[in-house]
Amino acid sequence: MKTRFLVVPALLLSGTALAVKPDKPGCTDHPLFPTRMPAYRIETCELKEFASYDFLVTKGPRRTVEGKLTFLTYAVDDRKDDRSGLEVVRNYENALKKVGGTVQASDPQRFVNGTVVVDGREVWAEALKGNGKIWLSPIT
């Protein structure tokens, strides 16, 4: 009987230690979106000093923007903690509006993008949701 009492706490502690994975070393949230969705971690990050990005639109050709591109991939490890596309889209719509930005295009289950002026420069950003991941792409 004593053995069972020792095994249960050990299993609980090991499960807690495995439940939270850290962000990829060297990766941080973008300053425009400092608060990420709960239970998500940064899986990958990439910074390009000059690149182009094709922003999704609801009608017509994609909008291509050039500049300094940050590309972040957020992942949730336990799919029970995954958020719906609608929740992610609304979260980033609200984040854009909170900093004085404007939503340019949105699909309530899949993506949102918009613009905000920071230090006199127009910043474009897009959040795209899919299968336990969120891809965030701000470009200045």
The domains of the chain are located at 40-139
| Percent helix / strand / coil, the chain, rounded to 5 | 25, 45, 30
- Residue by residue, DSSP assigns 16-47 as HHHH-PPPPTT----TTS-SPPTTEEEEEEEE
pLDDT by residue, tens only, the chain of 140 residues: 454 444 444 444 444 445 558 999 999 999 988 888 999 999 999 999 999 999 998 888 899 999 999 999 999 999 899 999 999 999 999 999 999 999 999 999 999 999 999 999 999 999 999 999 999 999 99
